[in-house]
Structure 1
Amino acid sequence: GLLAALCALTVWLGDCSSRCAAQPVSSSSTASPTTPPPLSGRALRLHRRNCADSLAALADLRRVKASVRQELVRMERERTKIMQQIRASRIELANLMRNQRKISADTEIARSDLAALQIRLAEADQRNLPVLRLPLNISTLKSASAVDKASEGNCGLVDCFDYARCGLADQRPRFALLYSATDSLTDAARLLNSSRRLLPDSMSTNVAVRDSCLVLADVGSSSKSTLSAVPAATNLVAMLLLPASAASERLRRGLIAERPRAVVASRYQPSGSYRPGWDIVMPAKAPFRSASDLWAALPPLVPARRPRLLAAPLLPGANSSWWRQISDVDRLVLDELQRLCRSDVVDNLTSKLELPALAGATFCPILAPAGAPLSTLGGQRRLLDCLLAGSVPLILGDMLPPFGDLLEPLWRRAIVRLPRSRSSELAWLLATYSDATLLELRRHGRLLLERHLGTWRAQAATLLTLLNRRLGLPGPAAVGPTGSSALLPGHSRLLMGRVPSHFDETQDYLGAVEPPLDSVLFQPRRQSASCRTRCSTIQACRAIRRRRQPTPNSTVPPTAIAPSIILWALVDSRRLLLSYNRESVLVGSLSKLAGLPYLHSVLVVWNGERPPNPSTVWPDLGGVPLHFIRGPGNSLNNRFLPWSQIRTEAVLSLDDDVYMRQDELVLAFRVWREHRDRIVGFPARFHARSGSGWVYDSNQTCEYSMVLTGAAFLHVHYLHLYSYWLPAALRAEVDRLTNCEDILMNFLVSHVTRKAPIKVTSRWTFPCFGCSQSLYKDDSHFFERSHCINYFSGMFGYNTLLYSQFRADSVLFKTRLGTDKVKCFKYV
């Protein structure tokens, strides 16, 4: 308004000035009728003075106008600045309110954690848990009572085993292996030699026999000389693995007479002198030297029903004295089997004993007549031949399978036992087995060969596991390789930079989030100061702290759950990235993990030829350990090595070019905690039949059979199986093609669990922005993966992959809620 008034006054004064300037000055001209009369001198002077004043006032007003305009511009700037400050203050207020809500939630979680810890402490105090100290010495076994028990045939771990030689406080090694170097080709020597390779340094075998806890001795052809080297008070496992049952029977009687407390590990176990829980039934000679040879020789598991229902029955030990005294009932059983061979019910019975003939039969009968030994060399050979041929063992009578007290649950799923009296109903009873049941019986028989019976190494590992379980001591710790650092020698520390968190609880509410902790099976037990100081001189504390390698079905006491208010807080997650000369992409992937709940540590497997650039600034993950490890060679199998730095059960295998939201990872991890024996991930694929083989397909369909490990959770136990249990030929095929390691892991898990993987959310592919190279952009990629499926199916004996139509999303996904309700996950 002021500026408008000044402008109007300025205009008026300007008009006055223009009129003053236009006034005529000459007085000689004649006045016209329309021209005003000239002014007098005094009036003219007055008029001119007024005009000058008006011009001065006009100049002043113009100066005032310019000053007011400048002031208004300044005030407008100040107003704009104040408005910006108001907006910034409002944003800051919103951030403060959001932080206040987050701090309140964290405080509430901390309060809950503190209350849970207090409850756990109170429970521990009520149970009076003792602090771990060095155990007292075990009293020596009274030899007199042990001999009396042994002579009566009642020898057991409580009566005949001297635990004083195996105390935790002793420095004695656990095992000593005793066999002759000249008899290195005997079965017992081969088994003990394989055992020596499996034993770690803490169970060294290069010690005196008298200083060991348990002696495994080959007492075959030179039993006298071998037993003379073993003191009478020593815990002895006598390996009696002779090629003939008659010789084993004579040596067994002499061995028990001389050493009644000895554990007899033999293929020949008579029914009268066999001591259950003490003597060990051994398998027949291992048919293969390596796991690769075994897997390549095993027949396929399909079809379920073969051309012949039964193979010809074998009567173990037919030349023995007890066979000449066979009972009438057993002769009737044999006659009935021979009648079935000629009947129309079972018209295709093979009479050959070779593996090709056994491979054509669905069932492989083994007759154990009454009064026969519980285990004979012929019976164990026949049982192993049946498994090698892929035929289901059918035991008629009482026969003990090898390592029965350890493998009995697995034997129940691999063999069929029937009373001899039901031989007349045999054809109808066997017809009740469905195809699915036959395949499961055959699959468990194959697992017995692969894990326990097929090679000398497998038999030795099973024997050591059985002995460790009888001793009540943990087996050797399953420790993975310790990878060397991928950094340069002079590059001792990473350049770390702070990155903003990509997780916002106001956008994706997750509820209570437990802290990242080591898995319970990896946590050290409590120990006193005296134990900690003395562990450097004795191995007792190390033996007590050694933990068994966890499996997906491991059971943990409820008190070990941390925090206790969370039901499934048994395990936490680890990120395992495979990088190949793409540092910028890797930095972006790592930055996405900043602030991720449950994150325990990050392990980057560096698979490139050159080390990381020392000038690269890596993201600081907020105190989460970041390890760079160089793999042994350029191999995709390095992804699944069970590195010793892994301290959790859950492993998230993640490619360096995969960018994922944190709410997706959290949802997948929570799904995995409820299905720890499966692969839980995002990109899914399937296989389809094409002619006589299989093809790999990545199209979106209604079902899938694989979850790619480029972004998937799996149990650390499967890393051990992949790296140390699978035959080397399978991993060599992965190295040859530089492909298919994820398919092989899916084959492995499906083979072990017979369960399909689980897909989470709707993600099907992962576009990599900024990636200039990829291992999967080659045109031959799909052909190679189809070849892998067919190759793996041949090695496993069947296609282990299982189809699934299940996808896991959050409970309230696509559910409309009111404004007063909050979803656990907003976008998944």
Structure 2
Amino acid sequence: MLRNGVVGNVGQPCMLRWSNRIRLTWLSFTLFIILVFFPLIAHYYLTTIDNLDDSGPRIFEPRSGNALCEVKHVQDLCRIRESVSEELLQLEAKRQELNSEIAKLNLKIESCKKSIENAKQDLLQLKNVISQTEHSYKELVAQNQPKLSLPIRLLPEKDETNFPLPKSPNSCRLHSCFDYSRCPLTSGFPVYIYPLDQYQFSALIDPLIKQAFLETARTNIYVTNNPHIACVYVVLIGELQGSTVLKSIDLEKQLHSLSYWRSDGHNHLLINLSRRSQTQNLLYNVSTGRAMVAQSTFYDMQYRPGFDLIPSPFIHAMSEPNFLEIPPQVPVKRKYLFSFQGEKIESLMSSLQEARSFEEEIEGNAPADYDDRIIATLKAVQDSKLDLVLVEFTCKNQPRPALPTEWALCGERADRLELLKLSTFVLIITPGNSHLIASTGCSMRLFEALEVGAIPVILGEHVQLPYQDTIHWSEAALVVPKPRITEVHFLLRSISDSDLLNMRHQGRFLWETYFSTSDNVLSAILSTVRTRIQIPAAPIPEEPSKEIPHKTGKTAGTDPNMADTGDLDLGPVETEPPYASPKYLRNFTVTVRDTYRAWNTAPGPFHLFPHTPLDPTLPSEAKFLGSGTGFRPIGAGAGGSGKEFQAALGGNVPREQFTVVMLTYEREEVLMNSLERLNGLPYLNKVVVVWNSPKPPSEDLIWPDIGVPIVVVRTEKNSLNNRFLPWDTIETEAILSIDDDAHLRHDEIMFGFRVWREARDRIVGFPGRYHAWDMTHQSWLYNSNYSCELSMVLTGAAFFHKYYAYLYSYIMPQAIRDMVDEYINCEDIAMNFLVSHITRKPPIKVTSRWTFRCPGCPQALSHDDSHFHERHKCINFFVKVYGYMPLLYTQFRVDSVLFKTRLPHDKTKCFKFI
């Protein structure tokens, strides 16, 4: 049983396993049947439905009730399908209709947003205009001074003015002998020059002097043909030809018979120019009444200080000096420490009757003559051989005629100049007769020394030098009393190289400005009289803008090259109304107060400028206490970081704007892209496009609307000098000169503008360059490589003052502009030379930008190798014209305040990326 039990227990599980296997087999068979026959059944029903769709319901023979039910069910499903399809089509149509309405509404929303933004901008602009108007009104009320305008030009009403002569003719001064009523401050200083055929002795005048004088007078801005409105009447009296002698009584009669002499000759100027070392003192015994005298030779009893004037000798009749013949100003020290050539002939009797008569008057009262001591001392220095000097007291050839007690000139002018080119200093020994306070011989020595850069050392402090009441000769010459002759050698050796070069540089300026040409000689004479009676110079001319009409259509977009500045604005965008820089605010202060600067610094006193970068600056508190007109301090004076900084210009000068000047030549697409990038630029007054091509712009060209005027000016010829013409359409002091293919971000431009406002007398810009010394050829090279030191900032992207546009176009030597036209190159180098020459300062580079990339632009001329060779030649030629290298090196670059400074969360940087 146990076994059976065991066997029985084992058999039960076996049965269970077989049962499970049967179930599994059945399930598998059932699944097989379903998988095989279900597709067939489904295909049957689908085919039936398709048949019903295609041909309508079919009538089947009713085999049974189940088949009929199946057919009705299929028909119900078809109807449901059709109903659902129709509903879906209707819903799709509604969806498309709603999407169209949504798109239209979105367009309306965008349009409304733009309208709101435009309205906000208009409102902001109106608020700004109102604010500026209120501010200006408050300034006017606080200042209580109306804007000054020029008064009506006053002219003399009568031709006769009778007032008593001074007791002594030699006591004439401006206050007692000059009729100011004929010369109102606003008269313009009209000058009438007597025609030479109105007096007989004009036929005796040297033809060269006569011709040059008339040519100069014909182009002089002050000369008028209407004698009734004249302030000053000019009479040319000499010099006379050769040994011609004119009796004093005859000359006096002819002068008194002049049409507008009016009995005493008031407001007349008698000019006796000198071309020879011994010029006749025609007016010595002539009664000149109240007429002023301008000549190179004077005795002390004849000269009336502050009334008569001593001009320079008349040597050159050329329109511009030949700069290539003038020796360079360096090296500072030359072969000879000093030189002197001359001969004193005691027995030489002058043919001048006034000299003989004057000697008779002063005989027995002659002062001590130090000439013997001078000769002995100079010979001792020469013999000591401590320094190489050259002194000769006897001429190798016949000496030039000279006045008594005066040292005669030796040799020809060319020979004298060759010696002076080798001399660091040149001695000028004044006449032994101290009563001879001015002589043509001394003036010619002074003139020749300045011409070739030999520093004059004048022995004798009693002499009167040309234009001595306006020119500070101590900056260009040494005036040493004769008793100090024994100390002269020590004095000359003690002067440093920098002082020597400054004196030589100043002497070159005086020679170029007042003595070098016939035009300068006459201009200096007239300017002396004009300065004495305190009449401003004539305004310097501006270049008339011949505008080219153009179509303005499309609105410019935002600058794609503009960096993301976040919430920081750069200034008032399209909200500040146009504001022109004030002009001619210092007409009379420049004439009266700045006489020294006008006469002793370039460009000289011959022109009145509307504004200069050298105008004085008020102290900081003045803008808050009584002189705040035009100032816009940051944070109303409290200062601040970026937010307050961008809301106002601040600085030390009143508010202003700048003008973009862009030179272009037949690159319309590049030009349009560059103009669009200026859209929305703060403080932009206008854009002046200098159209340098003879071919006008395309008629179908549409210019962008950038929110400020775009003025297109036509030029007379294709010249790079046109970039710097002082166009009359430029109404601001600040000019941003920019190439038509230069890419500058707005924040870079604004940063450069703010920096320039603090350095108005300098070029402030982006691409820096360098003048390098070529040791092999002992000359200069133009270097555009990256350098830690620079000396130029290219004007393809730079700010400068309009003052320099006047100087470049009208004052700078024509030879430089001619070379720019010849090479079609180097105008930017020429401008850097000019500014450094005037200021003696290097330019200022801002930001790290060194070059400009213009994608899609044609290849620039600067990519050509010949471009750099031409620039090498330009630099060396400009150095010859100036006589030295004006460019100065700088290792200084300007970056933004607070650029890398960590600020609190409530502060913002001045410029985020600069």
* Structure 1 pair 384–173 and aligned structure 2 pair: CA distance change class (3 A): closer
Match of 2:464 in 1: 400
Please tell me whether the aligned partners of residues 367 and 395 of structure 1 are also in contact (alpha carbons under 8 angstroms). yes
Distance 2:232 2:316 in 1: 28
Which residue in the other structure is 2:413 paired with? none
Q: Spell out the pairing of 1:447-462 with structure 2 (5 A cutoff).
A: 447-462=509-524
Contact 1:756 1:802 in 2 (8 A): yes
Per-residue deviation, residues 72-105 of structure 1 (Å, max 9, x unmatched) = 8689879989998999999999989988997787
In structure 1, how many angstroms separate the alpha carbons of the residues matched to 2:732 and 2:521? 30
* Alignment CA distance shift 1:811-1:94 (3 Å): farther
**Equivalent residues of 2:659, 2:685 under 8 A apart:** yes
2:257 counterpart of 1:240: no
Aligned to 1:196: 217
Maintained 8 Å contact 2:341/2:391: no
Aligned-residue identity in percent:
33
Deviation at 1:756, TM superposition (A): 1.0
Matched, 1:252 2:280: no
Q: Does 1:378 align with 2:441?
A: yes
* Structure 2 contact 617–653 (Cα < 8 Å) conserved: no
**Aligned residue in 2 for 1:724:** 810
Following superposition, the deviation at residue 593 of structure 1 comes to: 2.2
Selected match of 1:510 from 570, 577, 586: 570
Q: Secondary structure at the match of 1:281?
A: coil
Matched, 1:654 2:735: no
Q: 1:387 Cα deviation (Å)?
A: 0.7
Counterparts of 1:524 and 1:695, CA distance in 2 = 41
Matched to 1:175, the amino acid is Y
Which residue, out of 323, 326, 348, partners 1:298?
326
SS at match of 2:661: strand
For the residue of structure 2 that corresponds to 1:574, the secondary structure is strand
Partner in structure 1 of residue 234 of structure 2: 216
CA distance in 2, matches of 1:734, 1:42: 112
Q: Distance in 2 between matches of 1:626 and 1:345?
A: 67
Residue in structure 1 matched with residue 821 of structure 2 by the alignment: 735
Q: Which residue of 2 aligns with 1:823?
A: 909
Task: Give the Cα separation in 2 of the matches to 1:19 and 1:380.
Answer: 130
709, 732, 746: which one aligns with 2:832: 746
Give the secondary structure class of the aligned counterpart of 1:581. Answer: coil
User: What is the one-letter code of the residue matched to 1:327?
Assistant: A
Identify which range, 58-67 or 590-599, moves more after superposition. Answer: 58-67
Structure 1 segment 311-460 matched on structure 2, within 5 A: 311-312=339-340, 325=366, 327=368, 331-351=372-392, 354-368=416-430, 371-398=434-461, 399-408=463-472, 411-460=473-522
Give the direction of change, closer, same or farther, for the CA distance of 1:726–1:136 in structure 2 (3 Å limit).
Answer: closer
> After alignment, is 462-471 or 733-742 more displaced?
462-471
1:407 is paired with a residue whose SS is coil
Q: Which amino acid aligns with 1:299?
A: P
Contact 2:658 2:732 (8 Å CA) reproduced: yes
| Contact 1:474/1:548 (<8 A) preserved | no
Q: C-alpha distance in 1, partners of 2:311/2:298?
A: 9
2:152 & 2:434 partners in 1: Cα distance? 50
Using the TM superposition, give the Cα deviation of residue 713 of structure 1 relative to its aligned residue in structure 2, in angstroms.
1.9
Corresponding residue to 1:231 among 237, 242, 261: 261
> How large is the Cα RMSD of the aligned pairs?
4.1
Deviation for aligned residue 1:261: 1.3
Query: What CA distance in whole angstroms lies between the structure 2 residues aligned with 1:787 and 1:802?
Result: 19
Alpha carbons 2:261, 2:268 under 8 Å: kept: no
Change (3 A) 1:426 1:447: same
Structure 2 residues without counterparts, runs of 5 or longer: 1-37, 46-60, 241-245, 349-354, 396-409, 411-415, 588-606, 634-649
- Per the TM alignment, residue 188 of structure 1 is displaced from its structure 2 partner at its CA by 5.7
**Counterpart for residue 36 of structure 1:** none
- 2:674 aligns to what? 589
Counterparts of 1:20 and 1:381, CA distance in 2: 128
2: CA distance, partners of 1:168 / 1:625: 38
Q: Which residue of 2 aligns with 1:598?
A: 683
Match of 1:615 in 2: 700
Q: How do 1:529-568 and structure 2 match up within 5 A?
A: 548-555=609-616, 562=630, 567-568=652-653
State yes or no: 1:573 paired with 2:673.
no
More displaced stretch, 439-448 vs 557-566: 557-566
Question: How far apart, in 1, do the equivalents of 2:697 and 2:773 lie?
Answer: 44
Match 2:860 to one of 766, 771, 774: 774
Matched residue of 1:253: which SS? coil
SS of 1:520's partner is coil
- Paired residue secondary structure (1:664): helix
Is 1:147 the equivalent of 2:175?
A: no
Q: 1:73/1:170 Cα in 2 relative to 1: closer, same or farther (>3 Å)?
A: closer
Change in Cα spacing, 1:20 to 1:647, as seen in structure 2 (3 Å) is: closer
Contact 1:175 1:214 in 2 (8 A): yes
The Cα of 1:236 is off from its aligned counterpart by 0.5
Which residue is 2:135 aligned to?
116
The number of aligned residues is 758
Provide the C-alpha distance between the structure 1 equivalents of 2:299 and 2:900, rounded to a whole number of angstroms. Answer: 68
- Map of 1:34 onto structure 2: none
Aligned partners of 2:479, 2:101: CA distance in 1, in Å?
A: 90
Q: Distance in 1 between matches of 2:523 and 2:709?
A: 37
**Residues 687 and 696, structure 1, Cα contact 8 Å, conserved in 2:** yes
Deviations 1:749-808 (A, max 9, x none): 222221111112222112223322533232211111111112222222122211111222
Give the distance between the partners of 1:642 and 1:458, measured in 2 at CA: 23
Which of 168, 179, 183 lines up with 1:162 in the alignment? 179
SS in 2 for 1:280: coil
**Alignment TM-score, normalising by the size of structure 2:** 0.73
CA contact (8 A) 1:196 1:205 kept: no
- Which residue is 1:792 aligned to? 878
Selected match of 2:891 from 798, 805, 816: 805
CA distance in 2, matches of 1:712, 1:604: 16
Counterpart CA distance in 1 for 2:812 and 2:155 is 42
Deviation of 1:283 after TM superposition, in Å, equals 0.6
Structure 1 residues 21 and 520, CA gap change in structure 2 (3 angstroms):
closer
* One-letter amino acid of the counterpart of residue 735, structure 1: D
In 2, Cα distance between equivalents of 1:196 and 1:444: 27
* Post-superposition offset of 1:617: 0.8
Change (3 A) 1:632 1:218: same
Indicate if the aligned counterparts of 1:397 and 1:420 stay in contact, CA closer than 8 A.
Answer: yes
Q: Deviation of residue 298 (structure 1)?
A: 1.3
